[in-house]
Structure formats: C-alpha cells, structure tokens
A and B are shown apart, each in its own frame.
Chain A
C-alpha cells in the first residue's frame, strides 16, 4: 500500500532527529532511505513503524492515517500491519524457526492448520524449509536474515520495513542476498522501505532513493538520478565521488580548481554559489603518458600506486599541487611506475561543479 508522510517531526529533549519531513512511497515501490548514521533515517522508519511517537506530522498508509498529531490518531504498532526486519534481525532465541515465523499468525489467532501451511510456504519462499524445527539461536547470520524476512512476509504486511538488512553479513553473502531481496520485493510487488548507509546497497535495492542529512531529505530520485546527478558536494562525497576540490567560477563554462595550474572547462555551473566544489569520480579521470596536450588535460606526477584487483588506484599530484585519485583498469599498471610524470584528462561532463551543501529537497 502507498505511504504518505507529511510534516514529520521528531524531537528528543532539545535535539531534533527529524525536521518537518515529507515523503511518499507508491504502492509496490521500494524506497531506500540513505544517509550517514545520525541523519534521521532510522528514526523516520521507526516513526512509520509506530515504535517512536513523532512530535508532529501525519503518516498515512493506504490512505488511512496511522498517526496524526492534529487529530490525536496514533495506531499502536501491532495494529498497523507493518512487517519489519530489524538490523539485529531480532530472532527470538527461545523459539524454533517455525515458532518464530508462526508468531504473527498466532497473534492474529489464525487456525493451526492454516498456520502450518502458511509458515511452510513462506519458509520455502526464503529457502529454509529444512530448518523449520531448528532452534533459532543455532542459525548463521544469513539464515537469521531469512527467518526475519519470512516472519514479516508471512503476515502479509501492507508495508515491509527493513533496517540495514544486509549490514551484519559478510561481503559475499551480502551480494547474494541483495539480489534475492530485490527479486523477492519485485516479484511480490511489496511496498518496502529500506534504511541503509551503504550507497551500493541503496542503488541495488531501490526504485527510489531518498537521501537524508540532518533530519531532512536533501535529494530524492531514481538510483540513476542520484548516482549521476548529486545535488551537492557533500552528497557526492557520501556517494563515493573520489575527488572533491574547492573551486571558483571563471565564466559560465569554466571553473578554476584550487591547486590546478590551468582552468577547467565544465558542462554546467549552478546559478549562485559560495563554497563551490569540483566533483570528479575517480573512474572518470583518464591517465596518459607525459607530454599529451589538449582541453582539460593536465600534467602531474604519480605519488601512490595501489593495486586493487580489477583496478588500480593512483594518486596523482598536479603541477599546481592539487591531488587527484584516479581509478584505472589494471592493464594500465604495466605502463606506469611510482614518481613517473604523467598527464590526466577530465572530460567537461565528468566535472560537476556543486555547492558544498543544499537545503532540504
């Protein structure tokens, strides 16, 4: 079901965790709340879940208000029909896998035979049929994750909330479960909200990403939007853009990057800007041998070479002193040695001239 949040505000004592936040999620959509710890993303999710009581605002699920500070409506969590996968999974260690998954149905007073069949079907869906009778405290992290998911799916929730669902797993398992989770969510057409601080996870899971900073949503859009067009340097930094360097506007198509001896041609420049930053992804810079010339080609020296498997990471110091991180395919490694003089090229549309911060989106 669709979710509509208006003017959500949450205060703890004097501190404001969420500041007048608006958000809407369409039916069947997967929204990811992305941001650093303390940005208010988990608080937002917990307000929707009903585990926190907002100071102000309205929350509607499927058109019905579950919270409204004006009319005093506040549905308790257990009546909102929201499934939730906790970051810690919150698998009850004193119950078996079956009992964990059956819990929501027992609470609904569903009849025993139906409980049995629904739990079995759901366990099959997450690939845990063989584990039903196992004690929940004996499971591995990945299995607990699946139990937590099954427990929420079995209740056929209006909305599924997932708090950092993959952060406690090791890297390889994380990759696999990410695909499975995306597949499941798309197949079931389940309205979902994820919370994560991992941009890669956000890009992989989302139909729509809402980027949060300091209790605000600062940018909202499709994964491609967010990845290609961050609205500010601090968002770009968070999204892993490797080079963020103070700059000044020269003219509408040119900026001066501090520490670079020549001006840089760029595709576009924002209107009014203090604190302008040039943001360039490390993989968008092309390394070349010394002596090359042309627009946006600069001279530099290799300061650090670090092999990373499929890629090599170089630290290049430009003649003017600015330092750039460059990510290049590993085949380039044969061409360069430490302290070599090199050139590096940045195409104008690879440079994004952005303000340091933006206000709420």
Chain B
C-alpha cells in the first residue's frame, strides 16, 4: 500500500445516525451496572466473613446462641464474660495462651533468625541445603508435627524414651507440658521467621554495609550496627506474626495439652462447645477475648511491617556480602542439621515406625530385627479403609472447589479494588483481609452459627466446607491475586480497549493470560491450605463430610495411633506434591518477574 492509499483508507465511512442514541442507552446500562458489582461483592463477603464474626459477637453478649427463629438483641448481657473470666479455667487458659504465644514466638525467632542468617549471609557448609531446611517444616501441618512428637516424646511410651530405656537409661523426655507445647509450636512456626528475615537479609542493599566498612567499622561492628538494625522490622514483624499464629493454633494445643490437662484459649472454646449442654455463649465470650488478643498483635505487626520497604531498599541482582564464619563453620552447620532432625527427620521416622510396626503399642526396639515385626498391614488397612478413602475424596473435592471458588472471588474483588474506581472498593479490601485477624476456631464457630441460621440447607454437605474455606482463605487468595494484578501494567489492558476490545474481552485476552502464573500459584496455594486446614471445619463436619485432616485428628483423639500415623504419611505425600507444584510455579513467577 502506498501512503496515499493509507490516507484514503484512514477515513472510515461517516457514522450512521442513531449511534449516538445507542451509546446513550449503553451508558445508561453502564450506570446501572456500576452499582451492583460492588454491592454483589459486599453481599458475598458479608455472608462469608462479616456475618460469622457478627454472630460470634452477638452470642457473646446474649443468653442464646443464634438459631432460626431465635435471634435478637433481647437478653443482652455481659454475664458470659463475667462467668467465663470469673472462672479459674478461662483465666488459666488465657495465661497459658500468652505464655505459649510468647515462648514459641521467641523460640521460632531464634531458630528462624539463626537459619536465615547463616544461609543468607555466611559461608556455612551446605548453605543451599540449609535454606531448604528452613522451609521444609512449613509444608508439614503443625498437627502432624504435634502428632509425631506425641509419639516421640510421650513420657513413658515415647519412642525416644523407649530407645534410651533399651540402652539401659532412664526415660528423659516429656512433651506433655507447656515446654513441650512451646517447643513444637516454636519449631513448626520457625519457617515464617526464617522466610521474613531471610528475605530481609538477602535483599539488603550491600552499599549500606560497605559504606560502614569504608567508614571504619569491623565486620562484627557492621553486623551489630548496620545489618541487624536494618533487619529489625523483619525480626519484630515475624515475632508478632508468629505470636498471633501460635496463640490461635488449636490442634497442637489440643494434641499436646489435652494429655497434660492444659488448656489454651482455642482448646477452651472447643471444650465449652463440646460440653453437654453446649455452652456456646461462653465459648463466644472466650472467642472475643482471643480475637482481641490477635487483633492487637495484628495491628502492631502491620505498623512494624509497614516500615519494612524503607529499610531493605535493594538493587536487583545484588549479591549481599558474606561473613566468613571461620571456626564456627562446622558448629553452625550442626545447629542447622539439628533443627532438620527435630523438625522433619525424627517426626517422619516416628510416623513411619508406628505405621509399619506390627503392634500399635511399642515397648521396646530390641526385637526390631525379628521377622514379622515390620509389616504394611496397618498402613494398608488405614489407607484402604472406607473412612480414609471417603475423607481423601472429600478433601480433594473440597480443596479443588475451594481453590476454584476462592481464586475466582479473589480475582473479581482484587480487580475491582485495584483496577476500577467503583464506589466502596477499598472497603472490599479490608473485609477480604479481615479473616487474618480472626482465629480459625472463632471463624469456624461463626460459620457454624451462620449456616444454621441462614435458610440455605448446606449444613452437613461438602458445600459448607467450600464456603467456610473460601471465607477463611480470602486473605491469602486476595493477596496473591492482587499482587499479580499489580504486576501487570494497567496500560496493557487499556491499550487493548483502545484497540477495539470491550473491557471484558481485554481482561480475557490480555490481563488473564499475563496473570497466568500468579493465578496458578494462588490456585495451588489455596488448594494446599484447604487440604491441610483442620480447625475451621471442626464445628462443621458430619460423619459423611469428614476430611483427611479431621480423620487424622479423630483417630488420634480416639487412640488409633497407627491409623493416625499412616494417614498422616499419606497426607504428607499429597501435601509435598502440591507444595512442589506451587514452588515450581512460584519460582517461574520470580524468574519472569
């Protein structure tokens, strides 16, 4: 085509009359469309998240728990709070929760900080392996860890105690006490501290440290005066994050604490709900106390982490300076390996031993080499039992459905929040992030009452599990998708609209394909979280809708140790596969971003 031809082609035929009218009508539709989308999203999030929380608050202040035809503000009272916190039990549970939260946060900080420092900033042996060591326990659900340690460290029948008795020593370990609880929570939440502190250490701009050396500071001075102060927000932030996660942790406290006669706030709620008759209003009051504790910590954490960017300004691809450890190279490695031993190797071994031993009650290993001691019978029985198979199917169905629903909802909400100017969009973000500040056991309680109350008969079906998990994981889903949307330049989508695509088509043709990696990894994250979640469904499951996590928990509670161990192993395999998938897609995302 010559330029002249292009010039003539440049002028489209004059537009027909009537288009103006049509576009006016389209605009009218646009206006009516403007309101409903946020309204619909508010509606969904209100039912998913706000209503459960409101019902917990309501029942903490009334004398009856919410039921159809039995809800209202009459009987408004503070007696629940008085009754609960007048009682010795609740006060003790609160105190235990605080001790456990603080203790395990401190332990996790020491372990995670140590691993982060040696793997990010020193020449320790097996540096890359130690990085993996810091991450691996994250993929082991904390209750599987607790279960394994209950097998390892029970005062008499614990495997570690049996081994030393075989060698003629006295039993030396007892996991059933506050110290044991702190130990288990500490080692299984250490990866959170590890991740935050590691990224702070490795993103740190080396110029800041080099400037300190140039101006006369020795290596140890640089560490003390520059490196660690710069990592302070990450250190403090992770401590508070771990505090909130451990304070609200139910399963570990239940597994370890119930044998020791210890209550924390979450197990206290559980026991109030399970007493006959069920004491829901008091449970709600305890729940409010727990929410407030977590809320205070979350607010603190947000304040501290908000400053993080400012301290870890990084040049991309910079290599942080490495500290030569000298004579500490071996001890540092040994420290890292010890953590690996207690967090992963011993627990998995313990599960294997119990699952493969011929007798559910092991009293000695002296007969270990005799034929018939090791058998797949218990394992096969557990894995092939109809309960396990149904629970596996349920877990997979619920996991996939939640991942689909959660990713979809998160996408719509995150799109509205980040890409539109629709009214009320910032409120949607707050509600989406709210479940972070609501302990899982409280959310589970609220969801129970919500779905008993609403005239939609999904209680007792798998649908309620999907609904509950979607609510509980909204923050993770929203954060994953929103981060991914923000990485895709808005111009790319606007540009498609300018070149003739409607907004919906532009999203489908340009934005979604570009977010493929972020969407996939969010999907896998939600799938993994749903597969491992135990606390939220505790009040919601029925005999037909048991999940793998529930089966493990139930087996342990009912003393079926071999079944619990075998199912846990099966479960670990599933989770590791999912984690590996997520890791792969996550890694891809980093490489391309």
Q: Nearest chain B CB to A346's CB is how many angstroms away?
A: 46
Contact with B along A61-102 (1 / 0, CB 8 A): 010111000011111111101111011101011100000000
Interface residues on A, range: 35 or more
Asked whether A82 lies within 8 Å of B9 as measured between CB atoms, the reply is no
The interface residues of chain B lying within 8 Å CB-to-CB of A62 are 14-15
Known A76-B26, A92-B514, A188-B3; contact A49-B12, beta-carbon cutoff 8 A: no
The A-contacting residues of B in range 474-503, CB under 8 angstroms, are 489, 491-492, 494-503
Report which A residues bind B (CB closer than 8 A): 1, 49-51, 62, 64-66, 71-79, 81-84, 86-88, 90, 92-94, 103-104, 107-108, 121, 125, 151-153, 155-158, 161, 187-190
Asked whether A190 lies within 8 Å of B10 as measured between CB atoms, the reply is yes
Asked whether A108 lies within 8 Å of B492 as measured between CB atoms, the reply is no
Asked whether B20 lies within 8 Å of A155 as measured between CB atoms, the reply is no
The residue that B12 contacts in the complex, of A51, A107, A121, A158, with Cβ under 8 A, is A158
The interface residues of chain A lying within 8 Å CB-to-CB of B502 are 76, 78
Report which B residues bind A (CB closer than 8 A): 1, 3, 6-7, 9-12, 14-15, 19-20, 23-24, 26-28, 30-31, 489, 491-492, 494-503, 505-506, 509-510, 513-514
Q: List 23 A-B contacts (CB under 8 A).
A: A50-B497, A62-B14, A62-B15, A71-B24, A73-B20, A74-B23, A76-B23, A76-B503, A78-B497, A78-B500, A83-B498, A88-B491, A107-B500, A108-B500, A121-B1, A121-B6, A125-B3, A152-B499, A153-B6, A156-B11, A188-B3, A188-B6, A189-B10
Given contacts A51-B494, A90-B489, A155-B499, 13 further A-B contacts (CB under 8 A): A1-B11, A51-B497, A64-B15, A72-B27, A72-B28, A74-B23, A78-B498, A83-B498, A94-B513, A94-B514, A103-B509, A187-B7, A190-B10
Q: Nearest chain B CB to A17's CB is how many angstroms away?
A: 13
Q: Nearest chain A CB to B543's CB is how many angstroms away?
A: 48
Q: Roughly how many angstroms separate A121 CA and B2 CA in the complex, as a whole number?
A: 9
The residue that A90 contacts in the complex, of B1, B14, B30, B492, with Cβ under 8 A, is B492
Known A121-B1, A187-B3, A188-B3; contact A84-B498, beta-carbon cutoff 8 A: yes
The interface residues of chain A lying within 8 Å CB-to-CB of B491 are 86-88, 90
Q: Roughly how many angstroms separate A50 CA and B24 CA in the complex, as a whole number?
A: 14
Q: Nearest chain A CB to B492's CB is how many angstroms away?
A: 5
Q: Nearest chain A CB to B489's CB is how many angstroms away?
A: 6
The interface residues of chain A lying within 8 Å CB-to-CB of B503 are 76, 78
Asked whether A92 lies within 8 Å of B492 as measured between CB atoms, the reply is yes
The interface residues of chain A lying within 8 Å CB-to-CB of B19 are 64
When C-beta atoms are compared, the residue in chain B nearest to A104 turns out to be: B499
Q: Roughly how many angstroms separate A75 CA and B24 CA in the complex, as a whole number?
A: 8
The residue that A49 contacts in the complex, of B14, B498, B501, B513, with Cβ under 8 A, is B498
Q: Nearest chain B CB to A336's CB is how many angstroms away?
A: 41
The interface residues of chain A lying within 8 Å CB-to-CB of B6 are 121, 125, 153, 156, 188
Q: Nearest chain A CB to B136's CB is how many angstroms away?
A: 34
Main secondary structure of the interface of B (DSSP, over half): helix
Known A78-B502, A90-B491; contact A65-B20, beta-carbon cutoff 8 A: yes
| B11, B19, B497, B498: most-surrounded residue (chain A CB, <10 A) | B498
Asked whether B500 lies within 8 Å of A155 as measured between CB atoms, the reply is yes
The interface residues of chain B lying within 8 Å CB-to-CB of A187 are 3, 7
The interface residues of chain A lying within 8 Å CB-to-CB of B509 are 103
The interface residues of chain B lying within 8 Å CB-to-CB of A152 are 498-499
Asked whether B7 lies within 8 Å of A90 as measured between CB atoms, the reply is no
Q: Roughly how many angstroms separate A103 CA and B7 CA in the complex, as a whole number?
A: 21
The interface residues of chain B lying within 8 Å CB-to-CB of A90 are 489, 491-492, 494-495
Q: Roughly how many angstroms separate A151 CA and B500 CA in the complex, as a whole number?
A: 11
Known A92-B510, A158-B12; contact A86-B497, beta-carbon cutoff 8 A: no
When C-beta atoms are compared, the residue in chain B nearest to A1 turns out to be: B11
Q: Roughly how many angstroms separate A74 CA and B31 CA in the complex, as a whole number?
A: 10
Q: Nearest chain A CB to B24's CB is how many angstroms away?
A: 5
Asked whether B514 lies within 8 Å of A93 as measured between CB atoms, the reply is yes
Asked whether A78 lies within 8 Å of B501 as measured between CB atoms, the reply is yes
Q: Roughly how many angstroms separate A87 CA and B491 CA in the complex, as a whole number?
A: 9
When C-beta atoms are compared, the residue in chain A nearest to B510 turns out to be: A92
Asked whether A73 lies within 8 Å of B23 as measured between CB atoms, the reply is yes
Known A81-B12, A90-B494; contact A74-B27, beta-carbon cutoff 8 A: yes
Interchain residue pairs A-B with the least CB separation, the first 6? A107-B500, A90-B495, A90-B491, A104-B499, A84-B498, A74-B27
Q: Nearest chain B CB to A339's CB is how many angstroms away?
A: 37
Q: Nearest chain A CB to B402's CB is how many angstroms away?
A: 28
Q: Roughly how many angstroms separate A86 CA and B362 CA in the complex, as a whole number?
A: 72
Asked whether A107 lies within 8 Å of B499 as measured between CB atoms, the reply is yes
Q: Nearest chain A CB to B423's CB is how many angstroms away?
A: 12
Q: Nearest chain B CB to A196's CB is how many angstroms away?
A: 17
Q: Roughly how many angstroms separate A187 CA and B14 CA in the complex, as a whole number?
A: 22
The interface residues of chain B lying within 8 Å CB-to-CB of A51 are 494, 497-498
Q: Roughly how many angstroms separate A293 CA and B76 CA in the complex, as a whole number?
A: 97
The residue that A73 contacts in the complex, of B9, B24, B499, with Cβ under 8 A, is B24
When C-beta atoms are compared, the residue in chain B nearest to A82 turns out to be: B498
Asked whether B500 lies within 8 Å of A75 as measured between CB atoms, the reply is no
Q: Nearest chain A CB to B572's CB is how many angstroms away?
A: 36
Q: Nearest chain B CB to A289's CB is how many angstroms away?
A: 49
Q: Nearest chain A CB to B559's CB is how many angstroms away?
A: 55
Q: Roughly how many angstroms separate A92 CA and B512 CA in the complex, as a whole number?
A: 12
Q: Nearest chain A CB to B332's CB is how many angstroms away?
A: 42
When C-beta atoms are compared, the residue in chain B nearest to A157 turns out to be: B10
The interface residues of chain B lying within 8 Å CB-to-CB of A64 are 15, 19-20
Q: Nearest chain A CB to B509's CB is how many angstroms away?
A: 8
The interface residues of chain B lying within 8 Å CB-to-CB of A79 are 23
The interface residues of chain B lying within 8 Å CB-to-CB of A125 are 1, 3, 6
The interface residues of chain B lying within 8 Å CB-to-CB of A104 are 499-500
The interface residues of chain B lying within 8 Å CB-to-CB of A84 are 495, 498-499
Q: Roughly how many angstroms separate A64 CA and B22 CA in the complex, as a whole number?
A: 13
The interface residues of chain A lying within 8 Å CB-to-CB of B497 are 50-51, 76-78
The interface residues of chain A lying within 8 Å CB-to-CB of B31 are 72
